[in-house]
Amino acid sequence: MTVKDCIKFYNETKCIHRKYHLNWIKENLNPILKTIDPKLNINWACQMCAKNYMNMLIRWQEIENTKKPKKRKPKNAPKKTNKN
């Protein structure tokens, strides 16, 4: 169970999978939401609030994915030969 999997599942189905218990959600998603908005009062019992939180997390994940630079393949350097 990872945060990325939880957000991806919600993005595809618009519901939170039952394997993500409320305690897991609070422990793993609340710190991310607090980094997004430190003044946020998080209440997972409110259905509309939970939808808003998950949409915030989807956007956060999109931003995190764009921040990571893609690894480039090294160019094949021409081999040096010794001409004596």
pLDDT the model gives residue 2: 86
Phi, psi of 30 (to 5 degrees): -60, -45
Q: What is the pLDDT of residue 74?
A: 65
pLDDT of residue 13: 87
Q: What angle do CA 60, 20, 61 make, to 5 degrees?
A: 10
Q: How many Cβ atoms are within 10 Å of 11's Cβ, its own excluded?
A: 14
CB-CB neighbours of 28 under 10 Å? 14
Instruction: State pTM to two decimals.
Output: 0.72
For each of the chain's 84 residues, which pLDDT tens digit applies? 788 888 888 888 888 888 888 898 899 999 999 999 999 999 988 889 989 999 999 999 998 888 766 666 666 666 667 765
pLDDT score at 65: 85
